[in-house]
Homo-oligomer: A and B are copies of this chain.
């Protein structure tokens, strides 16, 4: 092997690569961040699947393409993708663009770190610890545990698994054959991840008892009591109740104090799926919506939604101080989590996860938080609510919109096929910051 020749090859690759990256960055700036946020441009250049297949030329071939062709690929991907940063993107529970969060994301990608041990991710292990601590303190907990997960569904699944281990620790080694049938409680309007979690964890969707909601979409606590009695009569052990803070469609908040009281009385784990609504904790004005959240055992919260941190940014927080998360999930792989390191190995938090390699999701939130402060995040949430009220008032004046239902933090209207709900406020909001 001739090291010299290889070094030259390598240098050439490096400089070509950097040039391509820089040119592509300019395309990204122009096509997504300039055009994609411009009201005069479309949210999406819609194409039918067959048309789009032809336009994109997705086929992967034997030989590579030229620099110029590849830059055109970047342009095409940007062109035909939906601009979720566009002020008129109203489709999902996320939208908008925070430039500091985006910077955190590009930095994350370039560093290409996996968040398992302090030695490989020193900055991010400490940063995750700090961000989780701060989020927990907003919930009202001075101690506890938590972890960043790949999305809210996974965070909810973590909570359900930890609750199960807390109730029946033998499940980790012996499986569900060593436990009684278990019952889960969640409202009609709660997120479908509850059923997915029950199926994936081996509990089964039939063991998810669906609790009725009132007209605003909030869980009816009296029906929770009915469903607990029903489960017990079927010899299923109630162990987990999921309360929702901000339902997906109506934005409803379940009455947490009343649910906490019932959970405590029945010895159940109480989880709050605050994936969407958790961010009200930043607002003195609106945090009453989640009064009682500190009585929960666990909380899911997605800063990639109302706070605009960007996908994916989801945490599950635990009130527990007995190391349940680590005890439940750890496999103590000796090749990765050696105990003879020259630092405190409790910083090797990766074994708390059910993943091995784990993307860094804390940096985008941390950098955004550093940039605008707790105060700025609080303003962001309050503006979302203010815009929601404003739209509410405006819509009431119009004949061509029909009110579908009124809820705590937003209103859903349906003008034929247009679907306007709380999602759009965030999008509008992102344009104003």
8 Å CB contact of A103 from B24, B177, B312: B24
**A390, B1: Cβ atoms closer than 8 Å:** yes
Q: In chain A, residues 319-338, which have Cβ atoms closer than 8 Å to a Cβ of chain B?
A: 328-329, 331-333, 335
**B432, A9: Cβ atoms closer than 8 Å:** yes
Between A and B, 18 residue pairs with Cβ closer than 8 Å are A6-B432, A13-B433, A18-B34, A46-B122, A48-B343, A56-B127, A58-B127, A60-B374, A63-B376, A70-B367, A73-B370, A74-B107, A77-B111, A81-B122, A102-B109, A109-B310, A151-B355, A192-B333
State in angstroms the CA–CA spacing of A44 and B123 once bound together.
11
Residues on B with C-beta less than 8 A from A366 are 58, 60
**B82, A161: Cβ atoms closer than 8 Å:** no
Shortest CB–CB separation between residue A195 and chain B, in angstroms? 5
Interface check A405, CB cutoff 8 A = no
Q: In chain A, residues 51-103, which have Cβ atoms closer than 8 Å to a Cβ of chain B?
A: 52-53, 56, 58-65, 70, 73-74, 77-78, 80-85, 91-92, 94, 97-100, 102-103
Size category of the A interface is 35 or more
**A356, B112: Cβ atoms closer than 8 Å:** no
Q: Which residues of A contact B (CB under 8 A)?
A: 1, 6, 9-10, 13-14, 16-18, 20-22, 24-25, 28-29, 32-34, 37, 44, 46-49, 52-53, 56, 58-65, 70, 73-74, 77-78, 80-85, 91-92, 94, 97-100, 102-103, 105-107, 109-114, 118-124, 126-127, 130-131, 134, 150-154, 157, 161, 164, 171-178, 181-182, 191-193, 195-207, 248-249, 302, 304, 310-312, 328-329, 331-333, 335, 343-344, 347, 354-359, 363, 366-367, 369-376, 390, 431-433
Residues on B with C-beta less than 8 A from A81 are 111, 113, 121-124
**A130, B431: Cβ atoms closer than 8 Å:** no
How many copies altogether? 2
Residues on B with C-beta less than 8 A from A174 are 204, 206-207
Residues on B with C-beta less than 8 A from A203 are 175-176, 202
Closest residue to A33 on the B side, CB-wise?
A: B18
State in angstroms the CA–CA spacing of A373 and B60 once bound together.
7
A94-B354 CB under 8 A given contacts A13-B433, A175-B181: no
**B49, A373: Cβ atoms closer than 8 Å:** no
A356-B192 CB under 8 A given contacts A64-B372, A177-B181, A375-B62: yes
State in angstroms the CA–CA spacing of A382 and B368 once bound together.
43
A335-B130 CB under 8 A given contacts A10-B432, A78-B111, A366-B58: no
